[in-house]
């Protein structure tokens, strides 16, 4: 693994408190910063994957709507009204 040095300025109190907090958990500040960097990269990759999935989903939905494959609003409302009624009934019976 090629290693590089990452240098940045930080308030002395923040650095001291961070080092003490890391030491309290048997870690070094460098270990925690590397963990943070890996976690941040992973979060950004997951967010990008989700955004790509969502954009694809929206595009497919638009294409479906453009092709006339739509469900009337009244039908959707009726389906969810029935679903809400079943849920309420289930809750009432489980008390």
pLDDT digits (tens, 9 = 90+) for 56-74: 999 999 999 999 999 999 9
Specify the pLDDT at position 95.
78
Output phi, psi for 79, to 5 deg.
Answer: -60, -45
Specify the pLDDT at position 1.
76
What's the whole-model pTM score?
0.67
What proportion of the chain, given as a percentage, has pLDDT over 70?
100
Burial class (CB in 10 A: 0-12, 13-18, 19+), 64: exposed
Residue-wise pLDDT for 5-31, tens only, equals 999 999 999 999 999 999 999 999 999
């Amino acid at each position: 693994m090629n290693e590089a040095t990452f240098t940045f300025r930080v308030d002395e109190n923040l650095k001291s408190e961070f080092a003490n907090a890391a030491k309290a958990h048997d870690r070094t500040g460098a270990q925690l910063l590397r963990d943070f960097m890996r976690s941040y990269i992973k979060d950004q990759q997951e967010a990008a994957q989700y955004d790509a999935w969502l954009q694809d989903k929206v595009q497919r939905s638009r294409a479906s709507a453009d092709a006339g494959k739509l469900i009337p609003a009244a039908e959707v409302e009726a389906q969810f009204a029935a679903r809400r009624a079943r849920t309420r009934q289930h809750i009432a019976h489980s008390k």
